[in-house]
């Protein structure tokens, strides 16, 4: 029951965010126009209101009636249509929208936008726009890679427009390459980021997440049940607040986070190397502000990794596998930070997943592992395990802080933890 409540509360937060947000969606004339119908549905499902403005070419792919039916609002396509504002639709639509999304942004539409042309309702509305504007391009790979298109993209980015995609993959024209419209979830997330307060702009977060795998042979490994969800939720919250995020992660079944630098690794040694590499790159310019280590790093690895599959023989029982200790990322960072002035070192946050007496064991861990904050959870508690979408955590610090948060969605824990870290900057 608790679980359902927290899931609903997380959904409630998302719905609250989008509630009555006004989106003007400009649809360009490309085959991907049919895919924006799902985008309209996704925006509406979150509580946003969508008005569609299409180019003449867009209506060759999807009819105005379809846009009207799916969005629940009249379709706008004619610059000279005497609308409610006496032919001033382009000004009203630009002014009243919380966000303008251009999807699919064709090569032609972006060329017009880059040069400030305004010879139809869509381009006139874009030119009249003062607030945030998100562009999701889609086209043939050769058109995308053409220097003229790339010049226009750079110019539009310079004008402050936010780009989402295109993505690589199979294209409608039969070719493979860059040019696919970004997925609906990616565009929704990009849209949300355009509207969030950028309280962490200029800050850089480094995170670890997920399990590590320690290979025994080409087919077997030692690992744990970590799903990576907690790390993903924290990274997402930091990205939404405008931070730059580097996410070093073990093997997980989660989609890459839009806008994050994703660094996939396999073993604890790989993870250690990737984190130290980032730390060493950033340290001279002090361009790292927080390090949050959520990964369930394997403490040990097999001393020998067999290059061939280990065969079963009758003399093998009991089977003994000799293990050696993995490097400890948190300990090493704590050691490095110990030699630095307070104001020069990033805030270091560790996680402790315990099974019983969690706070007490957390305190012991904090004494051993020199981090600024330790987030403790008890895996034996309902709703606080590895694979679930919720967590119940207690925050400990070196000055005796002990703050227990109620059972919440991992998204909510992530957002609150990012706030707690930001409060320490």
List, by residue number, the catalytic residues: 173
- Report residue 349 CA to chain centroid gap: 20
Beta strand ranges found along 274-346 (DSSP E): 290-293, 300-302, 323-325
Q: Which is nearer to ligand CTP, 179 or 211 (CB)?
A: 211
Shortest reach from residue 243's CB to ligand CTP, in Å:
19
Q: Which is nearer to ligand CTP, 214 or 289 (CB)?
A: 214
* Position with the least CB separation from ligand CTP: 329
Task: Give me the phi and psi of 171, to 5 degrees please.
Answer: -105, 160
Report which of 324, 383, 379, 43 is spatially closest to residue 192, judged by C-alpha positions.
43
Between CA 211 and CA 215 the distance in angstroms is: 13
Shortest reach from residue 341's CB to ligand CTP, in Å:
23
Shortest reach from residue 208's CB to ligand CTP, in Å:
6
Q: Write out the residues near ligand CTP by the rule CB under 6 A.
A: 208, 268, 293, 295, 297, 299, 326, 328-330, 350-353, 369
> What stretch of H or E contains 232?
helix 229-240
Report which of 364, 411, 417 is spatially closest to residue 395, judged by C-alpha positions.
417
Beta strand ranges found along 114-175 (DSSP E): 133-137, 162-163, 167-170
- Residues making up the chain, counted from first to last: 425
Count the Cβ atoms, other than its own, within 10 Å of residue 183: 19
CB neighbour list of residue 220: distance below 8 Å, 6 or more residues apart = 309, 310
Q: Which is nearer to ligand CTP, 330 or 396 (CB)?
A: 330
Q: Which is nearer to ligand CTP, 33 or 207 (CB)?
A: 207
CA-CA-CA-CA dihedral for 153, 158, 160, 164, to nearest 10: 30
Q: Which is nearer to ligand CTP, 242 or 302 (CB)?
A: 302
DSSP state of 285: G
Question: Do 318 and 343 contact (CB within 8 A), yes or no?
Answer: no
Q: Which is nearer to ligand CTP, 46 or 226 (CB)?
A: 226
Token pair, residue 157, equals: 């980015």
Shortest reach from residue 388's CB to ligand CTP, in Å:
18
Between CA 396 and CA 398 the distance in angstroms is: 7
Q: What is the CA radius of gyration of the chain?
A: 25
Shortest reach from residue 350's CB to ligand CTP, in Å:
4
Shortest reach from residue 324's CB to ligand CTP, in Å:
12
Q: Which is nearer to ligand CTP, 71 or 326 (CB)?
A: 326
Question: Do 294 and 234 contact (CB within 8 A), yes or no?
Answer: yes
Shortest reach from residue 281's CB to ligand CTP, in Å:
18
Alpha-carbon distance values, 112 to 58, 159, 248, 276 (Å): 15, 14, 40, 45
């Amino acid at each position: 029951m608790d679980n359902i409540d927290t899931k609903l509360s997380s959904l409630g937060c998302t719905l609250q965010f989008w509630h009555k947000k006004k989106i003007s969606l400009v649809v360009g004339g490309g085959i991907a126009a049919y895919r924006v119908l799902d985008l309209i549905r996704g925006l509406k499902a979150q509580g946003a209101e969508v008005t569609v403005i299409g180019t003449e070419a867009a209506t060759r792919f999807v009819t105005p009636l379809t846009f009207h039916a799916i969005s629940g609002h009249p379709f706008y396509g004619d610059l000279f249509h005497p609308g409610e504002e006496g032919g001033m639709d382009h000004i009203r639509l630009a002014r009243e929208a919380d966000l303008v999304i251009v999807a699919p942004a064709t090569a032609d539409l972006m060329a017009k936008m880059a040069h400030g042309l305004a010879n139809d309702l869509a381009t006139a509305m874009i030119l009249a726009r003062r607030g945030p504007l998100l562009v999701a391009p889609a086209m043939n790979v050769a058109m995308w890679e053409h220097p003229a298109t790339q010049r226009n993209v750079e110019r539009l980015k310079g004008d402050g427009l936010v780009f989402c995609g295109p993505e690589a993959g199979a294209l409608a024209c039969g070719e493979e390459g860059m040019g696919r419209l970004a997925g609906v979830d990616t565009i929704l997330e990009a849209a949300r980021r355009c509207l969030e307060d950028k309280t962490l702009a200029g800050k850089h977060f480094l995170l670890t997440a997920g399990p590590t795998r320690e290979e025994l042979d080409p087919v077997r490994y030692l690992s744990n049940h970590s799903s990576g969800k907690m790390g993903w939720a924290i990274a997402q919250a930091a990205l939404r607040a405008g931070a730059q995020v580097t996410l070093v992660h073990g093997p997980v079944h989660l989609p890459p986070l839009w806008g994050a630098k994703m660094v996939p690794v396999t073993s604890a040694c790989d993870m250690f190397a990737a984190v130290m590499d980032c730390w060493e790159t950033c340290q001279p310019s002090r361009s790292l502000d927080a390090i949050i280590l959520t990964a369930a790093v394997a403490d040990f690895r097999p001393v020998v990794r067999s290059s061939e599959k280990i065969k079963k023989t009758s003399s093998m029982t009991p089977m003994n596998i000799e293990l050696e200790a993995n490097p400890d990322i948190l300990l090493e960072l704590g050691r490095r930070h110990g030699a630095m002035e307070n104001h020069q070192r990033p805030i270091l946050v560790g996680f402790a997943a315990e099974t019983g007496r969690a706070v007490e064991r957390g305190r012991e861990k904090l004494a051993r592992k020199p981090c600024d904050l330790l987030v403790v959870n008890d895996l034996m508690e309902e709703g606080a395990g590895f694979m679930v979408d919720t967590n119940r955590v207690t925050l400990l610090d070196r000055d005796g802080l002990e703050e227990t948060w109620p059972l919440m969605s991992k998204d909510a824990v992530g957002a609150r933890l990012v706030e707690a870290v930001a409060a320490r900057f």
